[in-house]
Amino acid sequence: MGGGLGFLLLLIFLCVWVWVRKAKVPSRSGAQLVCKPSALATYLESQCQALKSLCEASWPWRALPTLQTLASMMGPLDSRVHFVRTYLQLSDEGLVALDWAVGPAQQKRRQTSTICSTPVLLLVPNSFGKVTRNISKLCHVALLHGYHPVVFNRRGQNGCPLSTTALQPYGDPADLREAIRYIRSQCPGALLFAVGESTGAGLLFSYLGECGSSSHLTAAGCISPIFDPRGWFEAGCPWLWQQLLLMSQKMWLSRFATVLGEVLPLDRFFGGQSLRELEEVLFCQAQTWDLYWERNNPLRDVDEVAVPVLCICSQDDPMCGAPRDTLPLDLFETNPYFFLVLTQGGGHCGFFKDSLGGAFWSHEVLLEFFNSTVDFLLTEDKLKGQAKKRGARPVLKVTQDRSGCRQESCCPHNTPDIYSWQRSYTH
C-alpha cells in the first residue's frame, strides 16, 4: 500500500510540474466579507487588518489550489511545536486524547497540572485522523500570541487507543462536549476559543448548535468547512481526494480490524470504493442513511448558535466545489453570529501568505477575529454598564512583552459546577 501511495504522489507532482509551467499567476487575491450588517460586522471590518492584506505577494503556486491543499494537509508538521498528551476516559469508557501544544523550552512541563489563565484555543482537526501541517502551524502562531493551544483527537485517531467498539459519528458532539468540560475544569479562569478544520468544522457546528448559549466559547472559527457533508459524501469529491481519503481511512481502521470485525462487516469496508460506502459500513448498521444524517447534519441546530463564528472559504476549493453550490450564503446574510470570508484563492485549508513554506494568512485572520470580538464585547459591556451583572465575561488584557509577542491574561471568574471527573488518564 505504501508503494501505491508513493506512485500516486509522484503522479500528482508530475501533473503539478506541467500545470505550473502553463499557469497564469494573478497579481493579487482578494477577500470578501459576507455577513448580516451589524455593529460587530462594522467593527471587524475596521479592526481586522489581515482582511485587507490577503496574499499581496506574487508567487506562482497560487494558481494551483490542488498543490496548496496538499501542502497544507500532507506537508511536514511545524518542528517548533511539541505536544503533551492527556487521555480522557469518557462516560461510556471510551477514550479521547487532548494534545496540549508547547514550545521546545516548555515540553518538559506539565501544561495541564496547574490552573491556567491564558486564553485556550481548542483545535478540532479533520475527521480523517491525522494532525495536519495547517493545524500544527496554527498551534505555533497561537503560542506566539499568548494562547494555550490544545488539539482534540477522536477515539482511535492520531494514536489514541480505541477502548470500545463505538466510533464517533460525523456530527455527534458528545465526546467534544466532555472534553470541553474537562478543559474548563483545568482552566476555569481562561477564555475559550475553538477552530475547526475541514470536516472537523462539522463537529464544531454541531457542538455550538446543541449547546447554544451554554457552549462556554467566546468565539469560534472554521477553515474550509464542509457545510453539506451528506451531499459531499453522496456526490463524491474529485477522484484524487477520494483515493487519498479512502486510503487514509482504510489504513487507519486496519489497526482495529480484529476488534471491530466482531461488530462490523469490515470486508465491505475494505472493499468500498467511495467515502459514502465507508461511512455507511461504520455507522448505518442499525439505522438508515437518512436517519443518520438527520442526527448528524452539522447545521441541524444552527439557529441556536450564540457566539460569533468566522468561516474562511475559497472559490477554488478543489474538494468542496463551486461556492454557489456549496456555501449557504443565506446563513451568513441573515444570521448575525456567522461571518464568511470568501477568497479568490487558497484551495482547501491552503491559505498560504507568501509561499508554500511560509505562514498561513488564515491563521492571522482568525486570531485577529478573536481579539477584535473580545474587544468589541468588552466595549459593549462597558457602554451598557452590565459587566458586573454578567459575571461570565472575564476581562482580557493585552500587552506586549520585550520579544514583541502578544501576552494575554484574564481575571478569573465564577464558573458553575461542571462535570465531576472520576477518571482521567495522563501520559
Q: Which residue type occupies 197?
A: E
Catalytic pick from 99, 228, 317, 363? 317
Which residue is listed with cell 468565539? 219
Q: φ, ψ for residue 308 (rounded to 5)?
A: -65, 135
CA–CA separation, 369 and 31 (whole Å): 15
* Contact residues for 416 (Cβ-Cβ < 8 A; gap 6+): none
Q: How many helices (H) and strands (E) does the chain have?
A: 16, 12
CA 233, CA 109: separation in Å to the nearest integer?
Answer: 42
Q: What is the rounded distance in angstroms from the CA atom of residue 194 to the CA atom of residue 118?
A: 14
Q: Is the dihedral of CA 101, 107, 110, 111 positive or negative?
A: negative
The x, y and z cell numbers of residue 336, run together, are: 448575525
Q: Which of these is catalytic: 92, 348, 354, 375?
A: 348
Residue for grid cell 462594522: 42
- d(C-alpha 139, C-alpha 157), whole Å: 19
Cell of 175: 465526546
- Is-catalytic flag, 317? yes
d(CA 256, CA 64): 37
Angle value at C-alpha 62, between 58 and 65, nearest 5 degrees: 175
Listed in sequence order, the DSSP H helices in 77-228 are 133-144, 174-186, 200-211
Nearest CA-CA partner of 125 in 111, 144, 139, 112: 139
Beta bridge partners of 99: 85, 151
**Cβ atoms within 10 Å, residue 427:** 7
Residues annotated catalytic, as ranges: 317, 348
